[in-house]
Structure formats: structure tokens, C-alpha cells
Amino acid sequence: MLCGAADSHNTVDLNAPRRIWVRAPNWVGDFVMATPAFERLRRAWPDAWIVGAMRPYLFDLAAGSPWFDAVEATPRAGSVRGLLRQVRAVRSGRYDLAVVLPNSLETGLVPFLAGVPHRLGYRQGRPGLLNHGLRAESARPPWRRHGPRRVPVPMPEYYRRLLDALSVPPGPDATTLHVTDAGREAARTWLAERGIGADARLVLFTAGAAFGASKLWAPERFAEVARRLVAQGVTAVFLAGPAEVELVRGIVERAGANVFGATDPVLPFAALKALVAQSALMVTTDTGPRHIALAFDVPVVCLIGPIDPRYTDYALERQIVIRKPVPCAPCHFKTCPLGHHACMTGIEVEEVVAAAEALLDGA
């Protein structure tokens, strides 16, 4: 029997929920790191109707997976009216169980107001909204104005602990994504239009970071790494999000022959997944595509700056993580208050090339 404690004196039977609402994380990387939790829920309740609620840009990332019977858009509420619109949508679903993976007040408020009887999530900051779950351990950083921050735990483990609180049977630990036929064909067409053969050894690069400028590495250094690897017979492709088009165009122009930018057009996730799945290596900042690569068992060279690496310390046997132990890191600032983000400028081209070569040789 699967049970979850609503509080210290009340236990409820959740052996067979019929309708489950899963509020997915908002960030690409966090979404991918939550995929073992999605798989675990599906295996625990294969006959339940499970709806994945997520930002619309994540639909293609989820496409092809067996986790959800349906997906629904949950854009940022932005107003009381927007919040109530989400509440009405959840109430109309008549769910037995809500699994809330983000930690915001809004994501806990929606299933509470919708009257979902069993609501699982981390309860810190919203104990009255969720009646099953855990309180995350917190550690106060030296900058008191930021308030308490939870003790860093790799995000797949963080989500696993939450499902453990509901005694959901164990599931896979590895992150996974799935390629659709349409995505595979779109990637094949994109490569063919650029004269890239099906047998090309692809090294993908991600030079941007939606988090903020503090995660960025110098464009000229990315161009130099690409140039050196191309000289060894690989084909380099720089991935780009909509806000990174100009950045990638500049890098590709610097780098020269056999270096391409996924900018015209920007690849949707369906095609991007297929491209990643057939690549030999990814060189990236600490951003979403890093986790997409790991979900397809693609080796990764990851350049980490201001973020505590313990949040993403998983699948390390397939990665070389390059990080400089500067005294101000991890700070979690989106832009460096010191103006030089030494945690990233201290990373040299030579060590990135050496790491890439080591993983390519291993592959």
C-alpha cells in the first residue's frame, strides 16, 4: 500500500489515484533532471490519467515520452485573473493527486485553490498549501539579505526524495528524453541543407545562458576551442536560443570553416533533441542543453561559474566539469557584482580543449 502522511497524525491511502496533475519545473535543465520522477510516477500508476502542466516551450521537450497522457500550458499567471484561470483548469480536471515540483508560492497555491485533495511538494514557505511532502533543509549563506537557501542537493535526488515521502515505488535514476520521428527528420533536413553528412562527427556547443551574463564564457574562447577541434576532424555546431542568435553568429564568423550555427532558424526542441542524440560531445556552459546531452548519454564538457555545482552533480562519469575555486563563488548572481566574473574568465582554452579531446578519445 502506498501511503503519504498528511500530517503527523493522519495517514491517507494513495494506492490508486485515478487522475494526477504534475506541475513540471520551469527551467529546461530542471525539467530534464525531473524526468526520472516523471518516469517513476508513470510506472507506479500505469493506469492513471497523468497530466503534465508546464511552460509551453517545454512541450517539444516532453514530446515522444510515455510519462503524460496529456500536457497543458501553465504560463506565468501575471495577475489574479491569470492565477484563477489556472485554478479553474485544474479544478475541471478533478484530480486526486497533485505533484508540485517547483517551489514557488504560485505553484502550490493553484492545486490548493482548485481543491485537489492530495497535494505533494516541498512545503517550505507554503506549509498550508501542501498536505504531503517535505521541508527542505536550508543553509543561510553569508549574504543575509538573500535569506535562507536550501542545502544543495543534485536535482534528480531532490525530486526523488519528494516522491519517497509518498512511498512511491523506486524508479530509474537516469534522466531520459525521447526523439520523435518528426524531430529526427527535421534534424536530418537541417544537416543536409548545410552539407553536413550523416557520418559527420558532431561536437555541439552552447555558448549562451538564459540564467544571466555571469554564466557566459568569452565568445573568442569558444571560437578558438571550436577551431582546434575542427582541425582534428570534427564538425562543430553552436546551438542557440532566440536570445542568443547574434552571439552565435559572431562566434561562428570568428571560428571559420566547418563551424555552423543553429540560428537560421533556431532549432525547436524536437529537432534539437535529435541532433544532440547523434552527437559525439557537447561543450557547454551550465545551461539546459547540458542536461539534454546527458539524457542521451552524450559526454559533456561543462564550464561552471557562479552556481553551486552540487545542484547538478549527477552523471559525473560522463562529464568533465571545469570550475575555478574563486573565493566569491558560488554567488548565484545573474550578473557579477565585481564586474569581472573571475569564475568564468579563469577558465582557459587549453583546459577545455584537453577535456574535449579526452572525452572524444574515450568515446
225 and 131 share a domain? no
Distance CA 215, CA 233 (A): 29
Q: How many CB atoms lie within 10 A of CB 189?
A: 11
Distance CA 14, CA 152 (A): 30
Checking 122-128 for CB contacts under 8 A at 24+ apart, the result is: 122/162, 124/150
| 304, 217 contact by CB (below 8 A) | no
95 and 120 share a domain? yes
The CATH number assigned to the domain holding 118 equals 3.40.50.2000
pLDDT for position 339: 72
Query: Within its chain, how far is the Cα of 300 from the centroid?
Result: 14
pLDDT for position 74: 94
Distance CA 269, CA 289 (A): 10
Q: Identify the segments of the chain with pLDDT beneath 50.
A: 1-12, 140-147
Domain that holds residue 255: 181-362
Contacts with 12 (C-beta within 8 Å, 6 or more apart), sequence order: 3, 4, 6, 118
90 and 198 share a domain? no
Domain boundary among 164, 193, 225: 164
Inside any domain, residue 194: yes
124 and 189 share a domain? no
pLDDT for position 138: 57
pLDDT for position 231: 96
185 and 159 share a domain? no
Of 218, 204, 178, the residue nearest 347 (C-alpha): 218
23 and 89 share a domain? yes
Domain boundary among 136, 164, 192: 164
pLDDT for position 135: 81
22 and 111 share a domain? yes
Q: How many CB atoms lie within 10 A of CB 115?
A: 12
This prediction has a pTM of: 0.92
342 and 200 share a domain? yes
Inside any domain, residue 130: yes
Inside any domain, residue 46: yes
pLDDT for position 2: 44
Kindly state the cell numbers that stand for 71: 500536457
193 and 49 share a domain? no
Residues of 125-135 as b/e, b for ≥16 C-beta within 10 angstroms?
Answer: ebeebbbbbbe
Inside any domain, residue 171: no
Q: Is 8 exposed, middle or buried (0-12, 13-18, 19+ CB in 10 A)?
A: exposed
Domain boundary among 106, 129, 164: 164
The 3-class secondary structure across 234-266, one letter per residue, is: CEEEEECCHHHHHHHHHHHHHHCCCEEECECCE
What is the phi/psi pair of residue 312, to 5°? Answer: -125, 20
What's the full length of the chain, in residues? 363
Instruction: State pLDDT tens for residues 93-105.
Output: 999 999 999 999 9
Inside any domain, residue 170: no
239 and 136 share a domain? no
Instruction: State pLDDT tens for residues 35-55.
Output: 999 999 999 999 999 999 999
Inside any domain, residue 295: yes
Q: How many domains does the chain have?
A: 2
pLDDT for position 148: 52
150 and 234 share a domain? no
155 and 196 share a domain? no
Strands (E), the chain: 3-7, 10-13, 19-23, 49-54, 70-73, 97-100, 118-122, 132-134, 138-139, 149-150, 202-206, 235-239, 259-261, 281-285, 300-304, 319-323
Inside any domain, residue 174: no
Helix (H) or strand (E) holding 130: none
**First CA to last CA distance, the chain:** 44
pLDDT for position 305: 85
List the beta bridge partners of residue 235.
202
Distance CA 93, CA 302 (A): 41
pLDDT for position 363: 62
Distance CA 9, CA 6 (A): 8
| 24, 96 contact by CB (below 8 A) | no
Inside any domain, residue 225: yes
State the DSSP string of 146-211: G--EEPP--HHHHHHHHHHTTTPPP---S------HHHHHHHHHHHHHTT--TT--EEEEE---TT
Q: How far is CA 42 from CA 45, 90, 288, in A?
A: 5, 19, 24
What is the phi/psi pair of residue 72, to 5°? Answer: -135, 150
